[in-house]
Amino acid sequence: MQDDAMQGLAAQVDTAQWQWLRAHNERGALILVEGMLELAVVGERLVADDAAAVQSWLASRLVSKPTAEQVAAWNAVPDKLFSMLVVSPFVLIQEQQEDEGGTCVPE
């Protein structure tokens, strides 16, 4: 069952511009996920209410709320791209960086 949930969440990962995500940040629902973690894995652990995994990620800053400095930087580039996954009531995001070919990839 866990694999089915993971595949379902992985299929829901999308790309969004910062300007589309701002409202979620304003209501406190945005969660920044570092690139070494997969959004679907984090989402699945949130859905499963796996407090141990989430607390571990929070403690190591692999999962966090965006800082004021990050938000200010993103506000300066409203079309910056993020990978995103909605796991209600949260929106998980990962910054995307352009590779040498100009293609955006998760950070």
Interatomic CA distance for residues 94 and 33, integer angstroms: 5
What is the 3-class SS of 51-101, one letter each residue?
HHHHHHHHHCCCEECCCHHHHHHHHCCCCCEEEEEEECCEEEEEEEEECCC
Query: Binning pLDDT at 50, 70 and 90, where does residue 28 land?
Result: very high
Q: pLDDT digits over 55-100, tens only?
A: 999 999 999 999 999 999 999 999 999 999 999 999 999 999 765 4
Rounded to the nearest integer, the mean pLDDT of the chain is 89
Show the tokens assigned to 87. Answer: 């796991």
Adjacent-strand bridge partners of 32: 64, 93
Q: Where residue 101 falls among pLDDT bands split at 50, 70, 90?
A: very low
pLDDT band at 2 (very low <50, low <70, confident <90, very high): low
Q: Which band of pLDDT confidence, cut at 50, 70 and 90, is reported for residue 8?
A: confident
Q: What pTM did the predictor assign? A: 0.86
Helix axes 51-59, 39-47, angle to 10 degrees: 130
